[in-house]
Amino acid sequence: RPLLAPAVESVAAVVDWLQRFIDELLVCLHGSGAANLSALRDRGVTELR
For residue 47, what pLDDT band results from cuts at 50, 70 and 90? confident
CA–CA dist 48, 16 (Å, integer): 22
Identify whether the C-beta of residue 11 lies closer than 8 Å to the C-beta of residue 19: no
Identify whether the C-beta of residue 34 lies closer than 8 Å to the C-beta of residue 40: yes
Checking if the pLDDT of 49 tops 80, the result is no
For residue 1, what pLDDT band results from cuts at 50, 70 and 90? confident
Q: Model pTM greater than 0.85?
A: no
The 8-class DSSP code of residue 33 comes to T
CA–CA dist 8, 41 (Å, integer): 32
Checking if the pLDDT of 44 tops 90, the result is no
What's the pLDDT tens digit per position in 16-42?
Answer: 999 999 999 999 999 999 999 999 889
